[in-house]
Amino acid sequence: MPANLPPEYFEAEKRFKQAVTAAEKTSALEDLIATVPKHKGTDKLRADLRKRLSQLRKEAMSKKKGGRGDLYVVQKEGAAQIGLVGFPNAGKSSLLACLTNASPVIAEYPLSTLNPLPGMMPFEDIQIQLVDLPPVGNESTDGWVSGILRYSDALALVLDLSEGPEIQAELLIEQLERWNIRPVTPLLPEPEDGTGRNIVLKRILLAGNKADLPDADEKFLRLSAQYGKTYPCVALSARKKENIEELKRELFALAGIIRIYSKPPGKEPDLSKPFTVPSGSTILDLARTIHKDFTGGLKYARIWGSARFDGQRVEKTYVLQDRDVVEFHA
């Protein structure tokens, strides 16, 4: 047994030995690996633990129900799913707790987040799902973290404004590209080709956390100067809940969705539960979202909101805007 193992290692080792199911063992072993310091004396131990973890994951993922495998996929809920990406102690968990009803582990030590944790962020009349993930660079989790990021609708890169945020952004973007995730932006048109079969495009924004610390303003200006023309940049403080409303608006814009309300002919519109569809959707796209068989008898629609006048009759190819009210006519 190598020397200089911290007390947390032995506590995690005890939990691992007490675990019974493959799911429990996998979770405990991830905790155990996170406590092992990196030096020459621990190389063999870390290699053995990672090999054991790989075997447990295969066993857990092979189970159809229950099991640890469920933790490697976060089922989408709400209007969109946005993954939180960042290095240790950037404040992802604090931000999740500030924006949602989730209760993540928040600690000063790194790697306090070991499993994906979703939470629902209310924005006006919809809910957007945020997913807190282990920090980038954790050998025991990077493999499945990249899978969740590829599945998400968009990504928020959480940066520590006290630690060279422009360098963090550069390193995170480089890591995403190594995972075949190509960052794109709502500020510029998305590339139409050349992405390759395994490359996915993801809209990103840069969220500079800890804006309440000294010199944070100056460091955010450097970040904005380097990336502000390419990606949305927001400075905030999760600890003091500063600039949170602006961040919510930017996350909604990042999700690339619009809200549409339905109106039965001759009645008032239902403004309580909007349909959410991708930006650029048409009347026909909305009809397909409501029901796949709804499009057959659809003749036209009337629009309140983006139309030239309330109740304007439009064709099925009409492009909808956020908060339009639609009245279908068959």
Q: What is the DSSP letter of 152?
A: S
pLDDT per residue as tens digits for the range 54-85: 777 666 555 434 444 445 668 888 999 999 99
**21-59 burial, b for 16+ CB within 10 Å, e for fewer?**
ebbbbbbbbbbbbbbbeeeeebeebbeebeebbeebbeb
Determine if residue 180 is left, alpha or beta; phi over 0 gives left, psi from -120 to 50 gives alpha, anything else beta: left
Amino acid identity of 261?
Answer: Y
Q: Are 118 and 131 in contact (CB under 8 A)?
A: yes
Supply the CATH classification number for the domain 73-255: 3.40.50.300
pLDDT at 65: 41
The Cα 320–Cα 314 span in angstroms is: 10
Evaluate if pTM is beyond 0.85.
no
pLDDT at 64: 36
The Cα 84–Cα 90 span in angstroms is: 10
The Cα 187–Cα 230 span in angstroms is: 6
Q: Is 211 exposed, middle or buried (0-12, 13-18, 19+ CB in 10 A)?
A: buried
pLDDT per residue as tens digits for the range 310-329: 999 998 889 999 999 999 88
Mean pLDDT computed over 168-187: 89
pLDDT at 16: 79
Q: Are 277 and 318 in contact (CB under 8 A)?
A: no
CATH architecture of the domain covering 258-329 = Roll (3.10)
pLDDT at 272: 85
Q: Output the six-digit token pair for 198.
A: 């395994």
Cβ neighbours of 170 (radius 10 Å): 13
The domain locations on the chain are 7-69, 73-255, 258-329
Q: Output the six-digit token pair for 3.
A: 């020397």
pLDDT per residue as tens digits for the range 248-285: 999 999 999 999 999 888 899 888 889 999 999 999 88
Query: Is it the case that residue 109 has pLDDT exceeding 50?
Result: no
